[in-house]
């Protein structure tokens, strides 16, 4: 029996794998197609640690949002938010502060449509279609300006998205333009695919990376120093710095998890 595509927005190409749908499947979601599932199985066969990296990224996102909420942040701009799944940003943020405001942004119309469906009836959370490579299109979007107040601190979340932005697209400049819109006390959150620490792991990772070269979103691997270099001088990296996702303020029940060196993360505060 074929798949039902009634929930797919018009114009979406479902014949090629999409990063957000592949990630959705890796996390156990249902908004994906056979082409996405097939791609994930090939990628995870090439690099068996990929599933752990995906889960580590998602767990980090939840911890980072709770940490930011505890620090008093009540506004979140989640760029590259993906398809809704367990532990969404608005759920975590609004558990800590019911008045927390969350704006989801994704380039994938399916992710945006599913987010809007999930957020129906929630006055403090919205979703728009946008591209990280066009930060002004996000910052000056009417829905963003209506929901978020950039005169107050905002946490900009770029989780598992910057490794799809090549150097030629100027990721440093993109983050600077986002940072320029942030007031003192705002935060930037990054998670990024980093190099494996063993020759065997790097070989497996390279096989998986080559698979992504055949998709619309090839992957760029950056090490900890290259990720730190993405952050401008107006932002100060907070402890513990650029570290594996599993090492960033782990919850007590996560403290014994094996480090995932290819899932690198960092949080920085606007001075």
- For the segment 209-234, the average pLDDT, to the nearest whole number, is 92
- Residue 208 placed within a domain: no
What helix, strand, coil percent values describe the chain, rounded to 5? 40, 15, 45
DSSP summary character for residue 265? E
The counts of H helices and E strands in the chain are 10, 8
pLDDT digit string, tens, across residues 1-50: 345 455 567 667 778 888 888 888 888 888 888 999 998 898 888 878 78
Do β-strands 243-244 and 263-270 pair in parallel, antiparallel, or remain unpaired? antiparallel
pLDDT digit string, tens, across residues 136-195: 999 999 999 999 999 999 999 999 999 999 999 999 999 999 999 999 999 999 999 999
- Residue 205 placed within a domain: no
pLDDT digit string, tens, across residues 179-216: 999 999 999 999 999 999 888 888 888 888 888 887 88
Burial per residue of 62-73, b for 16 or more beta-carbon CB atoms within 10 angstroms, e otherwise = bbbbbbbbeeeb
Do β-strands 263-270 and 187-193 pair in parallel, antiparallel, or remain unpaired? antiparallel
Q: How many CB atoms lie within 10 A of CB 158?
A: 23
- Residue 148 placed within a domain: yes
* Range with lowest mean pLDDT among 26-35, 117-126, 151-160, 237-246: 26-35
Asked if residues 83 and 110 have their Cβ atoms less than 8 Å apart, the reply is yes
Count up the domains in the chain and report the number.
1
- Residue numbers of the domain that contains 168: 56-200+221-270
List the CATH number of the domain containing 235: 3.40.50.150
Q: Could you give the CA distance from residue 153 to residue 149 in angstroms, rounded to a whole number?
A: 8
Kindly tell me if the per-residue pLDDT of 126 is higher than 80. yes
Reported pTM: 0.88
């Amino acid at each position: 029996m074929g798949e039902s595509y009634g929930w797919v927005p018009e114009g979406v190409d479902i014949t090629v794998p999409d990063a957000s749908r592949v990630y959705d499947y890796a996390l156990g979601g249902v908004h994906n197609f056979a082409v996405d599932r097939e791609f994930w199985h090939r990628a995870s066969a090439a690099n068996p640690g990929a599933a752990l990296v995906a889960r580590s990224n998602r767990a980090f996102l939840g911890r980072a949002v709770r940490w930011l909420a505890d620090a008093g942040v009540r506004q979140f701009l989640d760029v590259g938010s993906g398809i809704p799944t367990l532990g969404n940003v608005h759920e975590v943020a609004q558990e800590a502060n019911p008045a927390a405001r969350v704006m989801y942004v994704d380039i994938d119309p399916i992710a945006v449509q599913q987010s809007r469906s999930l957020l129906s009836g929630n006055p403090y959370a919205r979703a728009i279609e946008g591209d990280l490579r066009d930060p002004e299109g996000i910052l000056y979007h009417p829905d963003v300006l209506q929901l978020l107040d950039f005169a107050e601190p905002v946490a900009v979340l770029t989780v598992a998205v910057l490794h799809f932005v090549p150097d030629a697209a100027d990721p440093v400049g993109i983050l600077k333009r986002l940072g320029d819109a942030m007031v003192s006390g705002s935060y930037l959150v990054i998670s990024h695919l980093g190099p494996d620490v063993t020759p065997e792991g790097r070989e497996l990772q390279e096989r998986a990376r080559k698979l992504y070269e055949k998709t619309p979103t090839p992957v760029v691997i950056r090490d900890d120093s290259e990720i730190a270099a993405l952050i401008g001088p107006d932002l100060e990296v907070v402890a513990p710095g650029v570290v594996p996702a599993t090492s960033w303020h782990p919850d007590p029940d996560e403290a014994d998890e094996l480090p995932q060196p290819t899932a690198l993360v960092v949080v920085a505060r606007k001075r």
